[in-house]
Amino acid sequence: MKTSHRLGQLALALSAVTRLHAQDSEPQKPQTPAEKLAEMVVHGSPAASPYSPPPATSITGLPAPVKELPVTVNTLSAQFIDDTSARRLRDLVGYVPGVNASDDSGATGDLLNIRGFDFLYQTYINGMRNRTGFNSSRRFNTIDRIEIFKGPGGVEFGAGDPGGFVNLVTKKPESVQSTTAGFEAGSYDSIHGFIDSTGPLTKQGAPIGSDPKSGLPAPQSDDPGLFYRLIASGDSANSFRDAFHTDGYEIAPSLLWKYAPGSSVLVEFDYQFRDQPYDRGTLYMKGAGFKDNFAPINTSFHEPGDYYNNTNTRTSVYWTNKLNDTFTLRVTGEVDTNRGRGVGVRNPYTFLLYEDGTNTWNGSTSVLRTTQNLQQDLWSVGLKPELLIHCDTGVVKNTGLLGFNYAHTSTKTATQDGFDLRPISFPVPVYGQPHSPNDSIPSIQRNFRFSEQLDEYGLYYQHKADFGSRFHLLAGVRYDWYDDDTASSRNVRTTPVAPLYSISDGNLSYRLGGVVDLTRNLSLYAGYSNSFQPQSGILAGGGAPDALEATAWEAGIKGSFLNDRLQTTLSVYDTERKNLLETDPRDEDFLIPLGTVDVRGIEFEVTGKVSDDLDVQGGFAFMDTEIKDTEDAATRGNKFYNVPDFQAGLRLRYDTGRWFVKGLSVGAGAVYVGSREGDAINSFELPSYLRFDTGLYYHWRNWDFKLTCENLGDTRYFLASQGESDIIQPGSPRLFTLGATMKF
């Protein structure tokens, strides 16, 4: 894309922001007191958009409006998630600028790329790292909103990727009794059902089951009492991918005890089960007769009987105790477990179909596969006590957060691989070939065992100072240290596994930024931050790798228009990450330095209400990447893979009730993602694509109905590669979903 064209698009966006500001700044005709009173009585406060973020966020640990923070935070509301009928986290990212799907080889988790960098282990739930929940995708019935924090978050989150973090905010018990039940059915035999019930168990001494209809006052959210929530869901689906089926269920009860104003104890338990087998995707290959050199999106070399059963549990306790108007004590504790068991026919040898060092087919007509038996057990425990401080010194309002966190994670993995003796044809595979009597049990070629004990500690302090109502300063410092003991073995079945290496290290993270309110509607912000992340593995020359280090600066303009119903952010950033590694092409058991990657970008986001009837969410992003300071001459100066130069997404929901049909809304969306490099040596590209989504929504009494379609035009597209031409995840073809929910 030419630079002049990019600048033209940016100028249009800036012009739109300026026009919105001008509309809000136009002088208004003075109103008499009677007119003002009448307006208040008839219209009340402006209705918030179902897509809008909450008035304040605690994603940094300090509760504050997003417009007062020198960072970019994108929020996806529960209504937006429901409107899109998203089945996985990566189904939503097209509407978030600077966020794309990525690939984790087996495609069982939801690996995202945020501002050019992959993240897998950076999912947080209510501000706590969830290290054991990355092995499978998840449904969203328990999620109130998804917050995407962009840029290095070393101060806020500790060790992590520099592109950003995802924080899932769960639905909490509510003070008013309600129950919602829903059902969805869609393409590829997809079905999904859920029930969500919440309300008070006690209310100021009232018996369980007290009903506001009985004449008692309706419970208020700040009243003391005991409240519950129970969410249960289940789903099952086939896929456009050959030999693929997934199903799962989730049960999530929670209790909230409000024992004093500003003080409460919340206990959450979440049990999830999912069977979602590994899926290594499709191929890019020249000379095989494929359209545009990409194999059909259904192509797979797995078997219909493959499975990977994954069980996750999360038990969390959140205690908030308001000591006085100055100090509030917060303590969070969490225990997570993960148990994975799977058997699958995998295709790690598809690279043998290529001519050496090229993406060209060598004429082979069969794929060598393995049968893999995988057992994985993880558990983690975390504790995070914090002291929140509020105090005013003259015209300066101060909010501080002093905290400490500890997390222990234990991982044990046992894998057995053996050659699967059933041939599978290429390029048109035939599945379900029977074993012969002599090869029913594959010979074991590898017995791999791995264990890790990881201890993480962090001590931090953040401070937000508000100078009057126009200037907001955010600063923070954090010191993290960790101990990582790792052991592994190949073709050895003895116990215990011999130690491989032990790493202990520490790092100082910091943040400094500020926001200046130019007008009631526009604010300027700028900030600088850093982060680090430990790395595991063995360098080709021996020894353990250095931790990943990243620094970034960001600046931009935040706008709030139309009586604060429409929020916009325009930002520019530059992130540099050092000490990246890649697999040694001479021996895949070792690592070599990839070098430093620099990502620069411009983002624009808009969320909220354009009018009383029209809700909007979307934005665009320009990104430029470069691999530098590398020992690999083949990658020096190249673009980083899976990062488009330009992407944009826009989702609209329009309520026709005022002029057409009461209760009827229509939705429309478009997602554009530019071409992306497929690997570090830039040997092939994933093509750009434009996808259209639609929806019809109807509300009648206590019922809500919807009909949605993702990829209306049935566009063929590819989400991401794993940096290899034989591991590429295709996007879904046209998907319909019909749903109904009833609230009572």
Residue 674 structure tokens: 């530019």
Q: Is residue 5 part of a domain?
A: no
The predicted structure's pLDDT at residue 445: 62
Residue predicted with more confidence, 538 or 530: 530
User: In angstroms, rounded to a whole number, what is the distance separating the alpha carbons of residues 585 and 169?
Assistant: 41
18: pLDDT strictly greater than 80: no
**Two tokens at 417?**
């691989």
Sheet holding 164-170, edge to edge: 72-77, 143-150, 164-170, 123-125, 128-129
Q: Is residue 11 part of a domain?
A: no
Q: What percent of the chain has pLDDT over 70?
A: 83
pLDDT given for residue 133 in this prediction: 58
Query: How large is the C-alpha radius of gyration of the chain?
Result: 27
* pLDDT range class, residue 484, cuts 50, 70, 90: confident
Q: Are 350 and 282 in contact (CB under 8 A)?
A: no
Overall average pLDDT of the 148-160 stretch:
88
Contact, 160 vs 84, CB < 8 A? no
Q: Is 301 helix (H, G, I), strand (E, B) or coil?
A: coil
Residues β-bridged to residue 448: 415, 490
Cα dist from 324 to 64, 125, 178, 260, 555, whole Å: 19, 28, 33, 12, 36
pLDDT bucket at 157, cuts 50 / 70 / 90: confident
Asked whether 127 and 166 are in contact (CB, 8 A), the reply is no
Does the pLDDT at position 252 exceed 50?
yes
Q: Does 491 score more than 70 pLDDT?
A: no
Question: In a 3-state reduction of DSSP, which class is residue 349?
Answer: coil
pLDDT of 191 reads 97
For residue 26, how far is the Cα from the chain centroid?
Answer: 40
Q: Does residue 1 lie in a domain region?
A: no
What does the block give as tokens for 545?
A: 């790798």
Domain span holding position 323: 46-194+221-743
Cβ-in-10-Å burial (0-12, 13-18, 19+) of 207 comes to exposed
Q: What is the pLDDT of residues 610-621, one digit of tens each?
A: 999 999 999 999
pLDDT per residue over 519-528, tens digit each? Answer: 999 999 999 9
Share of the chain above pLDDT 90, in %: 54
Judge whether residue 295 has pLDDT over 50.
yes
Neighbours of 681 (CB within 10 A): 16
Residue type, 441: I
Digit-coded pLDDT (tens) for 6-17: 434 434 443 444
Average pLDDT of the residues in 573-587: 78
pLDDT band (50, 70, 90) for residue 505: confident
Given a cut of 70, is residue 410 above it in pLDDT?
yes
For residue 22, the model assigns a pLDDT of: 42
Given a cut of 90, whether residue 25 has pLDDT beyond it is no
**Sheet of 99-101: strands edge to edge?**
99-101, 112-114, 117-119
323-354: pLDDT as tens digits: 999 999 999 999 999 999 988 887 777 888 99
Instruction: Give 518's DSSP letter.
Output: S
Question: Is residue 531 pLDDT above 50, yes or no?
Answer: yes
Asked if 105 and 727 count as a contact pair (C-beta separation under 8 A), the reply is yes
- Please give, one letter per residue, the 3-state secondary structure of 548-569: EEEEEEEEEEEEEECCCCEEEE
Within a domain: 698: yes
Average pLDDT taken over every residue of the chain:
84
Residue 14 lies in a domain: no
- The span from the CA of 612 to the CA of 614, in Å, is 6
Residue 121 pLDDT level (bands cut at 50, 70, 90): low
Domain with residue 94: its CATH number is 2.40.170.20
The whole-number pLDDT of residue 16 equals 41
Cβ distance 653 to 666 under 8 Å?
Answer: yes
pLDDT digits 0-9 by tens, 374-404: 888 999 999 999 999 999 988 999 999 999 9
Q: Is residue 31 part of a domain?
A: no
Q: Distance between CA atoms of 679 and 107, rounded to whole angstroms?
A: 17
- What percent helix, strand, coil does the chain show, rounded to 5? 10, 55, 40
Q: Give a yes or no: residue 8 inside a domain.
A: no
**24 and 521 in contact (C-beta within 8 Å)?**
yes
Please report, as a single letter, which amino acid is at residue 533.
Answer: Q
Split at pLDDT 50, 70, 90, the class of 497 is low
Q: Is the pLDDT of residue 49 over 50?
A: yes
129: in domain: yes
Tokens coding 270: 């979440």
Residue 451 pLDDT: 86
Domain count, the chain: 1
Please check whether residue 163 is in contact with residue 115, taking contact to mean a CB–CB distance below 8 angstroms. yes
Q: Is the pLDDT of residue 34 over 50?
A: no
Distance CA 135, CA 145 (A): 21
pLDDT digits (tens, 9 = 90+) for 629-671: 777 778 888 898 999 999 999 999 999 999 999 999 999 999 9
614-643 b/e with 16+ CB inside 10 Å = b?
Answer: ebbbbbbbbbbbbbeebebeebeebbbbbb
Q: Which amino acid is at 543?
A: G
Predicted confidence band at 542 (pLDDT cuts at 50, 70, 90)? low
Q: What is the pTM of this model?
A: 0.87
Burial class (CB in 10 A: 0-12, 13-18, 19+), 419: middle
Those residues with Cβ within 8 angstroms of residue 520's Cβ, 6 or more apart along the chain or in another chain: 24, 560
Mean pLDDT of 441-456: 73
What is the C-alpha to C-alpha distance for residues 563 and 47, in angstroms, rounded to an integer?
10
Structure tokens at 474: 């955010």
Residue 98 near residue 618 (C-beta atoms within 8 A): no
